[in-house]
Structure 1
Amino acid sequence: MKVLVTGSNGQVGTCLVKQLSEIANVSFWAVDRTELDITDEKAVKNSVKRYSPDVIINAAAYTAVDKAEAEVKLSYLVNREGARYLAEAANDIGATILHISTDYVFAGDKDGMYDENDSVRPQGVYGQSKLEGEVEVAKACPRHIILRTAWVFSEYGNNFVKTMLRLADNRDSLGIVADQFGGPTYAGDIAKALIYIANKSVNRGSVSYGIYHFSGLPHVSWYEFAKAVFDKAKEQCLLRKEIIVSPINTEDYPTLAKRPANSTLDTKKINSQFGIQPSNWLFALNNLSEYK
């Protein structure tokens, strides 16, 4: 199996590179923005044609949720046009594209978990650009898997867990939003799921293409997530001092872009089709020294 990975320096991209390098009979080409700008249509088409992968995994995205409100053009260039160019290139050579999307395609006001058939209604530029990217990918390449996920964290890049550990070194107390709920998702588990699906897709008849949700359980608030991080850090003797964590409301922590109050994703479909279990995010916090 030949795999092209975009966004190789991101959280999921880094995990993909690490895991793919450990698999026999798999060759891959992992690129970051400097090696392949996915917003350059000609470069994308030429590179994909030259490498001729069986599967493209698009882990590249514009993910700065607040900055997207000002950098609208760039958000759409990466999240919509870039995704479309990759999907078109995949279709040209008969490849499959696996594309990562987000909980931000939903309004976040549903009572209960979001499944793949729920109505989408993004509340900001980031969510809208990702939604339009989904639409373009689906139109351009029938052999597509769109994987929506949420609250991604890992040892790499910038994320909530690393921020909490950094703040714990400098603060005695923190106020964390307690009225937004979701499923923290370890990037290594996303990579594992994508590689499993990629392998299945090489055997054309065994994959039901379309949209899937993949995230972690149990569902928690950001406040509960932070508490779990600090509890695990304490168990691992990584906290230099006790830190007081207090619950606050969304309105107490204003941001440029509106966050979904409910980011809980129903993962029954991916379990039914592929046997993939939700991300075990609590287990992923057992090696917090690597997040420092």
Structure 2
Amino acid sequence: MRGRGQTPIVPAGNVAGRALTTVIAIMTFLAALTVGAVSLVTDTAGRWQNDISNEITVQVKPADGLDMAQALETVRQIALQTPGVKGATVLDEAATGRLLEPWLGEGVDLQELPVPRLVVVSIDTGDPPNFEFMRQELQEAVPQADLDDHRAWVSRLVTMARTVVFVGVFVLALVIVATTLTVVFATRGAMSGNRHIVEVLHFVGARSSFIAREFERHFLRLGLIGAAAGGAVAIVVFVVLGHLTEANRQTPEADQISALFGSFTIGWTGYVGVLLLVATVAALTALTSRLTVTRHLAEIDMISPVEN
């Protein structure tokens, strides 16, 4: 074992070590952003899919001579009488106006615009209604009514979520490969700078495991510092974005953004993913350095008999 006052094989605070720590921090930060983005999109897509599967909408388009209030009430009654429907609510003019505020501004007079009106229908997910039958009933009673069961949206959401997860995994793989190569080069550089010390220790009988463990400790410390710094910065970014979204939620534009992406909070799964990423990067850094040193010492053993 190395004594308390013994100088370590690899200097703890050299320039190369600080540069490697910075590179690991940057890579971990980018990877943590990817993990958070994947978690955010996955959670949001799951929330969309859950909301969409619980509700359908019936759109009533305005037409000449159409009594909109009567048509909406007819649609609501037909929906309530359909098996599998738990409730139906007419979206009033105030709620419709709030939906249009980001595009048309405040104080929109719906009486002067040919704006379709909506009836929101809650369905029983365990025993959903027959949508085709319901669509036919609505068309016969109110020809201007158009039922949307959101199946196209669900399909697009699932496809989008899978694509984001695939891209995220691909980016993480690239970061891991880049980190591995960086550690390999950094380890070889550290060994090159301490080559004579390493070879002397090796030739006088120091075990390869001892030398490799010294490098492993050194790079594990660098990996932990760099990965923890990058992960912490990424967590701070997500926390700040979440607070900014909550603070600006009162505006119509923020309401639409929140409806699409939530509050930009990644949830406990995202934070756990970032912590696992930090641990993985640190362990990968230590393991890569150990394997590199072990392989280099094995090459020395193969060359030495030839020289002798």
- Relative contact order (C-alpha < 8 Å, sep 6+): which is higher? 2
TM class by smaller structure: under 0.3
TM-score, length-normalised on structure 1?
0.21
TM-score, length-normalised on structure 2?
0.20
Bigger-Rg structure (1/2): 2
Question: Greater share of helix residues, 1 or 2?
Answer: 2
